[in-house]
Structure formats: structure tokens, C-alpha cells
Amino acid sequence: MLPPLLEKIARAKVLVVGDAMLDRYWYGDVERISPEAPVPVVAVKEAKELPGGAANVARNVRKLGAACTLFSISGDDREADSLEQLLDKDDIHCRLERDKLVNTTVKLRVVSKHLHQQMLRIDFDSPVSKDARVKLLDNYLKHLPEYDAVIVSDYGKGGLSNIQEMIQAARAVSRPVVIDPKGDDYSGYRGANLITPNRKEFEQVAGRFRDDADLERRAVKLIQDLDLGGILVTRGEKGMSLVQKGGRALHIPARAQEVFDVTGAGDTVIAAIGCAWAVGSGLEDALQLANIAAGIVVGKLGAATASPAEILHELSLQEG
């Protein structure tokens, strides 16, 4: 039952650790094609900044009602200042390990307001230093027991090279760990309670699957090889597929609705599951919460969140 679950989540404390970034949006109108090249000309009318990556996961956690802290690595720059200010406005405690040798990761999206369409994305990345990674791990190990659950948001930016130590430390104090994975090698996630790849990410590691039964077989092998509690594969319009240790599988259809923007939907899913597990929820209720919340955010433009009020409203529509 989701109403009692949402009430419990309001008393939870969730730790998010991972690759935080700053999302910049430039909104404008597209009315002509450039004479210099066959590309649309966007006349920018509005600019906006939002927390991105692991910071967007933290934002989703807080919106669901749980207290949230974010541990991440950033540059020592204006973008890091902006990120901290944005998170502070959302009442999210933020500990950034600032590295003077790198730039804070920024994703710039150019969006046509008229077309409700993303026209271009530009990424600004730089490598993370070993010193910053060690400081992040030390801070994590020191404060881990203060939280009810851990969400690891890996965007492959290099800040999580010590992820195995993080998982083992969480297991030692009986804290569930949910991971949004990246890359073609999942060995670093060994021992996690749940990983949440999308279909493309899962197939990159486990191989292309033909049908649900084939997905389940491949997931079971990966679970056994990496001592995982389970794998949740998010499959876009086909919903989500959960395979647990022991082979139990659950396939959840997506909610039928208009999709404006899938940006950050995976962040919403992992935030919902982490919040639910922080208060001892069963996995089926956690997945129902995640599915409804994700359905709400893809109906919005840009990286968005779903509030308890929106979730309860959507639930009432489904039950009505």
C-alpha cells in the first residue's frame, strides 16, 4: 500500500553517492534553418540550471519526502557553487569534495520550447583525481551508519573507483545498497542488493535477449556471478523487469501515457526504490512506487521529480 509507505518515507534518511553534475537548459524558439549549415537556429529566450546526475537522484529522494545527503566530487568553480546553492534550496545536505584540478561536470541542453524537443546536448567533463576519490571514500565510511539506505549513482565520470569498499561497508552495517550502473564491466558492483540498468546497459554486459525468459536466464547468471540481490531492467515503453536472487521474476508494464522527455527517469526509479527500502518496504511496493513516479516525470519536460501528492493523485486515477 503506497499511502502508508509514503508516510514512512518522510521519516527516512537516505545517502546518495555518485557523479553529480550541473544541468543547464537553454530554451528558445526554432523558426528557421541556418544559412551556414542545415541545422535549426534556436533563438534562446530563457536559461535554467538544475542539479543533474547523482544530484538529480538526491533531488528525487528529497521530493519523495526522505531526508537526503549527497556525497560527490566536483571542481572548485562557479558551477560547484551553483550546484550547492540549488541543492540547498531543495533542503538537501551536500558534501562536495572540491578538486582544483578539474571542472565540475556540466550538461548543456538546447531545447525548443515550441516543439517540446531537445535540439542539442553539449557535455563538459574532466578526469577525477585519486586524492578526491580517497576523500570521498573516507567521508562515506565515516558517516554511513547515520543513514537507512545507500543509493549509488554511477555516470562513469570516474568518481566511484572505490565502489566495492562502499558496498562492503554498507553490508557490514546492514544498509541496503541500490546502484544505477554504467559501463560494460559490473564486477565493481559485486554484493549490491540491486542494480538498475536500462535495457541497453544490461545487454552491453549480459548480451542481447530475445524475450522475457531469455532476459531472466541472463539476469540470473549475472546475479550468481556477482552475488547480487537482484537486477531491475528498465525497458522504456515495455516497463520494468525484476529478477531476484533465486530466479523469481516480475515484469511490470509501463503506464500508458504521453511521453515528453525521458531525461532522468532512471534517477526517479532508483530514488523511489532506495526510499522504499530505507523504511523496510517489500520490493513489489517499491517497484509500484517507482513505476508511478517514473511515469509522472516522463510526462514533464527536462529532468523532473514526482511528489507524494502527484503519486497519490495518479494512484487514485488508476484505482478509480
CATH number at residue 163: 3.40.1190.20
Domain tally, the chain: 1
Residue 121 confidence class, pLDDT cut points 50, 70, 90: very high
Q: What is the mean pLDDT of residues 250-275?
A: 78
274 found inside a domain: yes
Instruction: For residue 168, tell me if it sits in a domain.
Output: yes
Q: How confident is the model at residue 215 (pLDDT cuts 50, 70, 90)?
A: very high
26 falls within a domain: no
Band the pLDDT of 300: cuts 50, 70, 90: confident
Alpha-carbon Rg for the chain, nearest whole angstrom, is: 19
pLDDT per position as a tens digit, 31-68 = 899 999 998 899 999 999 999 999 999 999 999 999 99
- Cell 535540439 identifies what position? 119
pLDDT, residue 257, reads: 60
pLDDT band (50, 70, 90) for residue 254: confident
Predicted TM-score of the model (pTM): 0.92
Instruction: Look at residue 244 and tell me if it is in a domain.
Output: yes
In this predicted structure, which of 70-74, 206-210, 282-286 has the lowest mean pLDDT? 282-286
What domain range is 140 assigned to? 2-20+52-101+129-319
Rounded Cα gap, residues 101 and 171, in angstroms: 33
Contacts of 229 (CB under 8 A, 6+ apart): 192, 193, 194, 223, 244, 245
The verdict on residue 81 lying in a domain is: yes
pLDDT band, residue 211 (cuts 50/70/90): very high
Amino acid at 13: K
* Grid cell digits, residue 121: 546536448
Looking up cell 487514485 gives: 316
Considering 19, 23, 261, 267, which one is annotated as catalytic?
A: 267
pLDDT band at 320 (very low <50, low <70, confident <90, very high): low
Which pLDDT band, with edges at 50, 70 and 90, does 284 fall under? Answer: confident
The yes-or-no verdict on residue 315 having pLDDT over 90 is: no
pLDDT over threshold 80, residue 264: no
Whether 165 is covered by a domain: the verdict is: yes
* Structural domain includes residue 44: no
Q: Is 186 left (phi over 0), alpha (psi -120 to 50) or beta?
A: alpha
In a domain, 109, yes or no: no
**CA–CA separation, 168 vs 244, rounded Å?**
20
- Would the pLDDT of 259 be above 60? no
| pLDDT of 240 over the 60 cut | yes
Q: Is 125 a catalytic residue?
A: no
Region 12-24: mean pLDDT is 96
Rounded to 5°, angle at Cα 181 from 100 and 161: 40
